[in-house]
Amino acid sequence: MIPGLKRLIPIVILLTVPVVGCHSLSKQNKAVTFWAMGQEGKHLETLLVKFARLHPEIPVKIQRIPWSSAHEKLLTAFAGQSTPDICQLGNTWIAEFESMGALTPLDSFVLGSPVVRSSNFFSGIWQTNVIHKKLYGIPWYVDTRVLFYRKDLLAKVGYRNPPTTWREWAEVSKRIKRASPPNEGNFANYFPLAHNNPYVPVILIMENEGRFLKKNKCYGAFEDPNTVKALQFYVDFFKNGWAPKNMSRVSNIYQGFQAGFFSMFISGPWDINEIRERVPSLRNKWGTAPMPKGKKSVSVAGGASLVIFKSSKRKSEAWKVIEFLSRSETQTDFFKLTRDLPAVRKAWSDSSILSDPQIRAFREQLETVQPTPKLAEWEQIASKMQEYLEKVIYGRMTLKQAVIDLDRDVDRILEKRRWLLSQNLLPE
């Protein structure tokens, strides 16, 4: 044996053995892994203290994921077979993960459950979780988007109440813009232009009864006249200088809202808390209102559901956690922590929800919410739409051309779906 080689052997072994060793070790923890996003992740610990008392045998390990990269992270985790047991999933994503075969159907769990019954939940929201007649998620909280507005700034231009129709909305925007000093660069509204944040145009299309897709969701339908009209209305906000083109100018929307850089924006219930915490000086100066009406007042059926991944080894323990989170008293506690609106009807009777004036608009809006199309490619299609709208807003393209190009791109994105359907490789 060569003396030098002897010294090398342990090193080589050291380099190769732990590959196997450390991997098997990590499998031994018994905790239910739970991924949650943004502020829900922040407050989940507090919420689950009671659960730990009830079920000390089921430890729960929470991981927070930033919303901005949540979609990528989840897909990567799925491709890498490192998905958690339970996950908070935006209910627009459920179809996508279902089509990949990533989710566990929950019907059998619901059958035996004393807590989770479909009749306890808002039916429109429950339906967003049903795909091909199977249930894949339990609604956790509901949200939708409404108009946030500065009462004092609207009053300044003669509007005691928030705008209720598209026409009023445009009018009040015009007046605010006119009233602001020209070099201040103030705007009336703020709409995010980030490609992963397409909800404003989506809501406007719904309000105008426009279509996104046609023929069994196999082709784009953005050339639909109602859709084009809604998009025109949206684009005009930018063209008229009633909304800023550049996101970077509004690196902090709360400061912008406080400074009067814009007086109206469209967002979800989480921002009620954020505004209260970050800019307390605005107290009583702002309010929320249902979406101004197009053909009707509609908003998007948002919110998140709890899903169990197919690869989970602890499905029954995971279900216990979901059951706990679906109790009406837990839902009420959750609301107090996050201002996320309960998905369980009964929880709404709690006085803290009823008495909150800024929640009222959401309650009204929830009566008329619509889900976005349920298909795997939806995120990508919505992101494409934003991309083209941005071009129109910057004057690089007419809207007419944009929807033609958009439909062509959407058709291309859906080519795989058409093929899968034709080969019966997708259940539909």
| Residues 332-361 close enough to bind other proteins by CB under 8 A | none
**CB-CB neighbours of 349 under 10 Å:** 11
H helix intervals, 240-377: 253-259, 270-278, 315-326, 328-338, 351-354, 357-366
Number of H helices, E strands in the chain: 20, 16
Which is nearer to other proteins, 124 or 260 (by Cβ)? 260
Q: How far is the CB of 328 from other proteins (least distance, A)?
A: 30
Gap between the Cα atoms of 399 and 234, Å rounded = 11
Choose, by CB under 8 A, the member of 10, 19, 114, 280 that binds other proteins.
Answer: 19
**Total site size for other proteins, rule CB under 8 A:** 64
Selected from 28, 119, 123, 248, the binder of other proteins by CB under 8 A is: 248
CA distance 271 to 275: 6
Closest-CA residue to 304 (of 84, 62, 139): 139
CA distance 196 to 71: 10
Q: How far is CA 361 from CA 114, 364, 381, in A?
A: 32, 5, 29
233 to 202, 203, 329: CA distances (angstroms): 12, 12, 42
Verify binding: residue 239, other proteins, rule CB under 8 A.
Answer: no
Residue 12 touches other proteins, criterion: CB under 8 A: yes
Would you count residue 49 as binding other proteins (CB under 8 A)?
A: no
Q: What angle do CA 9, 10, 13 make, to 5 degrees?
A: 85
Q: Using the structure block, give the residue that is written with the tokens 């949206």.
A: 234
Of residues 261 through 320, those in contact with other proteins by CB under 8 A are: 278
Stretch that binds other proteins, among 247-255, 282-290, 292-300, 313-321 (CB under 8 A): 247-255
Verify binding: residue 13, other proteins, rule CB under 8 A: no
Residues 374-403 close enough to bind other proteins by CB under 8 A: 376, 380, 387, 390-391, 394, 396
Binding to other proteins, residues 82-141 (CB under 8 A): 82, 96, 99-102
Q: Which residue from 115, 130, 218, 247 is in contact with other proteins, where contact means CB under 8 A?
A: 247
The answer to whether residues 365 and 290 touch, using CB atoms and an 8 Å cutoff, is: yes
* Contact flag: residue 255 with other proteins (CB under 8 A): yes
Min. distance of Cβ 344 from other proteins in angstroms? 28
The C-alpha atoms of residue 359 and residue 351 are separated, in whole angstroms, by 12
Determine which residue in the list 63, 113, 328, 368 makes contact with other proteins, applying CB under 8 A. 63
For residue 123 the two structure tokens come to: 């039916």
CB closer to other proteins, 97 vs 166: 97
Which residue in 13, 18, 225, 398 binds other proteins (CB under 8 A)? Answer: 18
Between CA 174 and CA 154 the distance in angstroms is 11
Tell me the HSE value of 24 on the side-chain side, using a 13 A CA sphere.
5
Candidate ranges 21-29, 108-116, 312-320, 359-367; the one touching other proteins (CB under 8 A): 21-29
Interacting residue ranges for other proteins, rule: CB under 8 A? 2-5, 7-8, 11-12, 15, 18-19, 22-23, 26, 38, 63-69, 71-73, 75-82, 96, 99-102, 193-195, 245-249, 251-255, 278, 376, 380, 387, 390-391, 394, 396, 412, 416, 419-420, 425
